[in-house]
A and B are shown apart, each in its own frame.
Chain A
Amino acid sequence: MNAILNALRWFGQSEQWSGPDGIPQRLLEHLWYSGLAFAITLVIALPLGLALGHVRRGRAAAALGFAVVSSANGARALPTLGLLILAVLLAGSGVGPTLVPLVVLAVPPVLVNAYTGVRQVEPQIRDAAEGMGMTGSQVLWRVEIPVALPLVLLGMRTAAIQIVSTATIAAYVGLGGLGRYIIDGLKRQEYDSTAGGAILVIALAFLIQLIFTGLHRLSVSPGVRLSASH
């Protein structure tokens, strides 16, 4: 219980709220790195996953699809800390090399969920859309993506949470952000700073979870939500 009290006291200290090591600055850094990595991830993974799910004919498409699904399972085995350290040792410290592992770990969940989401759209629905005279891209945008949206959002949420927690670990290789409190606190054995940082990171993860729950409510069509709950 003392630990929690100490962490609360840490939040109350005025030096935590201003300057380069203050919470607002560290939070902004964390959001900036994470946002950047998330944006790059989406640009790479979303178009690729949706397009691969949409194209169903041909052996090449099937082989690529299989590769996509295996990549997600494979990515889970990659140790984040090892990749971060390796990137920094081989390419130098700084934001650029650190972003590479963040993106590498976040691409697979987005890719796979976009792919399987579109892939799992029932053939009857697709046939009906084609029968109504929709073109390929109309089928994708008006039918497949709306139906796949719950899974697409799930992949994005997984990736966002993965990025935020890996960005925390990246403080070990010199990145700023909320992870600094944890890593520096461990090094100096100042466990109230460590616990304070941990609480901030946990709050951020909760917030992301909430944002995606909200996005799900706002953007998933009521009909899709209804069929998913059965």
Chain B
Amino acid sequence: MIAAPADDEPLIRWDWLARNADDIGGMLADHVYLSVVPVVIGLVIALPVGLACARWRWIYPPVLAVTSLLYALPAIALFVVLIAFTGLSHTTVMIPLALYTLSVLVPGVVDGLRAVPDHVRQAAVAMGFGPLRRLVQVELPIAVPVVMAGLRVATVSNISLVSVGALIGIGGLGELFTDGFNRDFPTPIIAGVVLTILLAVAADGLLILVQRLLTPWSRQ
């Protein structure tokens, strides 16, 4: 139905990109905001929930059942259901993303805390560490690699999911997709795909760096 671009029409029109650089920059900033805030919210909620699940083991199976169900919900469905409650706002896009982050991070926190070897915990107790100090200075640092792995997954998939929000008009770089589709014009779409991937790679690299700083002992 829709013809491929004519021969004289290049796949990417660089002049269009140059002319719209400001708008694209704004979308990029919006994209970062829409994907990073839910990660932070998800992390803030996942830490206490994960701690509770690691401490009282019977809570974990039902919590895990809920989080894996949450993760299965299609983003577009959640967006449009939320429109009725939060309207066409940034919140509508960020709530589902925060839920996805939560459902990735809770198992991460629990697995991370369970990965703390028992002799390490006992050594901390023997050195006179109370429960809180043991948690902050011993258990959480040991859990960092597993938690960070979850954080990387959540961040990267949030960055790719934000663009689905363009279907309800709030999608950061995703708006380049709908724009290109409406005008049958590949340049903005290719730019959007490339920028989304670059953003994901940059965010992932940043998180790897943070992990290195948080776990200096793992460097050889």
Given A79-B193, A79-B196: A89 in contact with B76 (beta carbons within 8 A): no
Determine whether A3 belongs to the interface, using a CB cutoff of 8 Å to chain B.
Answer: yes
Given A90-B4, A206-B69: A195 in contact with B174 (beta carbons within 8 A): no
Determine whether A16 belongs to the interface, using a CB cutoff of 8 Å to chain B.
Answer: no
Stretch at the interface among A42-50, A70-78, A128-136: A70-78
Classify the interface of chain A: helix, strand, loop or mixed.
helix
- The answer to whether B73 and A77 have CB atoms under 8 Å apart is no
Determine whether A173 belongs to the interface, using a CB cutoff of 8 Å to chain B.
Answer: yes
Q: Which residue of chain B lies nearest to A78 when distances are taken between CB atoms in the complex?
A: B160
Q: Which residue of chain B lies nearest to A2 when distances are taken between CB atoms in the complex?
A: B84
Q: Find residues 138-167 in chain B having any chain A CB closer than 8 Å to their own CB.
A: 153, 156-157, 159-160, 163-164, 166-167
CB-CB contacts of A49-91 with B at 8 A, as 1s and 0s? 0000000000000000000000001001111111101101111
Chain A positions within 8 Å of B166 at CB level: 81
CB-CB contacts of B174-201 with A at 8 A, as 1s and 0s? 1011101100101001101100110011
Chain A positions within 8 Å of B176 at CB level: 82
Question: How near does chain B come to A186, taking the closest CB pair, in angstroms?
Answer: 7
Chain B positions within 8 Å of A81 at CB level: 163-164, 166-167, 171, 174, 177-178
Question: How near does chain B come to A85, taking the closest CB pair, in angstroms?
Answer: 5
Interface size class of B (residues with CB under 8 A): 35 or more
Given A85-B181, A93-B2: A79 in contact with B168 (beta carbons within 8 A): no
Q: Which of B75, B78, B180, B201 has a CB less than 8 Å from the CB of A85?
A: B180
- The answer to whether B2 and A186 have CB atoms under 8 Å apart is no
- The answer to whether A76 and B157 have CB atoms under 8 Å apart is yes
Give complex CA distance A169, B159 in Å. Answer: 17
Knowing that A79-B160, A183-B167, A198-B76 touch, tell me 7 more A-B residue pairs with CB under 8 angstroms: A3-B81, A78-B193, A85-B181, A165-B77, A185-B80, A198-B77, A206-B69
Top 9 A-B pairs, shortest CB-CB distance: A3-B84, A165-B74, A77-B200, A198-B77, A79-B163, A82-B193, A201-B77, A79-B196, A93-B1
29 A/B residue pairs, CB under 8 Å, sorted by A: A77-B160, A77-B204, A78-B160, A79-B164, A79-B197, A80-B164, A81-B166, A81-B167, A82-B177, A88-B2, A89-B181, A89-B186, A89-B189, A92-B4, A161-B72, A165-B75, A165-B76, A169-B76, A169-B167, A172-B178, A182-B76, A191-B84, A194-B80, A195-B81, A197-B77, A202-B81, A205-B74, A206-B69, A209-B69
